[in-house]
Amino acid sequence: MITLRPHQQKALDWAAERRRGIIQSPAGSGKTVMMAAIAKAFLDANPQEQVGVLAPTNETCGQAYESFQKFGISMQQVEIRCPHGSVDFSGKQLVLVDECKHATSDSWLRCIESSPTARRYGFDATPFKDFDDERNDALQELFGDEILTIDHSEIGSSLCTAKVILSDATDLGLERRIDAATEKLVAVRKRFMRSVKDGELRAMCLWQSIIDIGIVNNKARNAQVVKWAEFYSCEQVLTLVPSVTLGEQYESLIPNSLCVHSKLGKPKRRKAMEDFNAGELKCMIATSLADEGLDLPNAKVLIMASGGRSTQKTIQRTARVLRDHYSKEYAIICDFQDNFHPVAAKHAQNRQRIYREMEYEFA
């Protein structure tokens, strides 16, 4: 018999009173346990019905499968799938959506709406996206206006505290190079991206130049990443990068490290996570794959080499090292001031604002 923690019981009771809604709960709060508990209660009351579960990756599907089995649920009554064209939930009367921030994209929407009369619940640490009211409204239209927000304070000892270390390491004279590269990109892309507004196109090109020049090819910044990884070589380190190219560069410089990305293949990714959780692999370098599906409770140090300003991604990424584990008293987050360009610096300031709001300590 699984004993639910108070916040998980709260989610179960909340769902019992509603046909649809979003449960917003921090990473490490046991969202797959909540999903399984809701499914168990539903199937106990409706033993002839079926449940559909949508999750973004094979890894998150596997985590959901394990939670459902622990609750003693017959997997003949549950279909757990990643979203694609062949998924049809038309016979399901309960649909559970993990990482529901994606639910408004075409492939997800097609799967979810294949069962229009089903009870429907979305689960996510950060379901709503900055500066995208249209998408946020569509998400609430899909799941209804009911939102249960579980705060970090309700989770208690399942999350540890975090300390933030900031560096101003950077090559000099990058601003002019980034702006010049941006203008060239805008001129080229204008020819085949005519439907994109000028301001939006310029912002896309600027961010690409910031990644290419300010992050991937910033020698001083990258040297600092390697120094951090070496300094914390006795700890379990997760390093987040914006591109596979940079990840492979770090892998060649950091002892006992591995760059993990979507093209690596499922068996190798699973082996990497097993080795990391066993302490045999000390530094995992990951692309956006780390935003979802990485279950690394013993990760203590996070190196934020990826940059960016997204509140959603910052919360999600830092949560990867906040899981409570016997091997750590607190987590360490290493990040950059990114003063090489005003826009990159603004992004860094936004991340720091989020750290303060999350009550992380600054070293």
pLDDT over 70 (residue 188): yes
Average of per-residue pLDDT values in the chain: 92
List Cβ neighbours of 322 (8 Å cut-off, separation of 6 or more): 26, 27, 28, 159, 160, 162, 331
The one-character DSSP state at 3 is: P
Q: What are phi and psi of 109, to 5 degrees?
A: -60, -40
pLDDT over 80 (residue 290): no
Cα gap 190→258, rounded to integer Å: 38
CA distances to 83, 141, 278 from 138, rounded to whole Å, are 18, 5, 42
Angle between helices 342-357 and 311-318 (to 10 degrees): 60
Structure-token pair, residue 93? 């009367």
pLDDT for 149-173, tens place per residue?
Answer: 998 778 765 678 899 999 999 999 9
pTM: 0.74
Measured distance between the N- and C-terminal CA atoms of the chain, rounded to whole angstroms: 43
Same fold, 6-154 and 160-174+219-362: yes
pLDDT for 123-136, tens place per residue?
Answer: 998 899 877 889 99
DSSP characters over 20-42: EEEEE--TTS-HHHHHHHHHHHH
Q: What are phi and psi of 161, to 5 degrees?
A: -80, 170
Task: For strands 147-149 and 237-240, give the pairing.
Answer: unpaired
Instruction: Report the pLDDT value the prediction gives residue 270, as an integer from 0 to 100.
Output: 86
301: nearest Cα among 274, 280, 330, 272: 330
pLDDT for 133-152, tens place per residue?
Answer: 899 999 999 999 999 999 87
The tally of CA atoms less than 13 A away on the side-chain side of residue 316 is: 23
Q: Which CATH number fits domain 160-174+219-362: 3.40.50.1820, 3.40.50.300, 3.30.465.10, 3.30.565.10?
A: 3.40.50.300
Mean pLDDT of 325-334: 89
3-state SS, 56-98, equals CCHHHHHHHHHHHHHCCCCHHHEEEECCCCCCCCCCCCEEEEE
Q: Which CATH number fits domain 6-154: 2.40.340.10, 2.60.34.30, 3.40.50.300, 3.40.50.1820?
A: 3.40.50.300
The one-character DSSP state at 83 is: -
The answer to whether the CB of 242 falls within 8 A of the CB of 215 is yes
Cα gap 255→318, rounded to integer Å: 23
Mean pLDDT of 238-267: 93
Q: Which residues sit opposite 78 in a β-bridge?
A: 51
The answer to whether the CB of 303 falls within 8 A of the CB of 317 is no
Most confident of 179-193, 212-226, 292-306: 212-226
Instruction: Report the pLDDT value the prediction gives residue 69, as an integer from 0 to 100.
Output: 94
Structure-token pair, residue 25? 């709960």
Cα gap 152→360, rounded to integer Å: 12
Angle between helices 6-16 and 31-45 (to 10 degrees): 40
For 228, other C-beta atoms within 10 Å of its C-beta total 23
The answer to whether the CB of 239 falls within 8 A of the CB of 283 is yes
Say which amino acid occupies 95.
V
pLDDT over 80 (residue 363): yes
Structural domain boundaries in the chain: 6-154, 160-174+219-362
Q: Which residues sit opposite 163 in a β-bridge?
A: 332, 361
Structure-token pair, residue 173? 């004279």
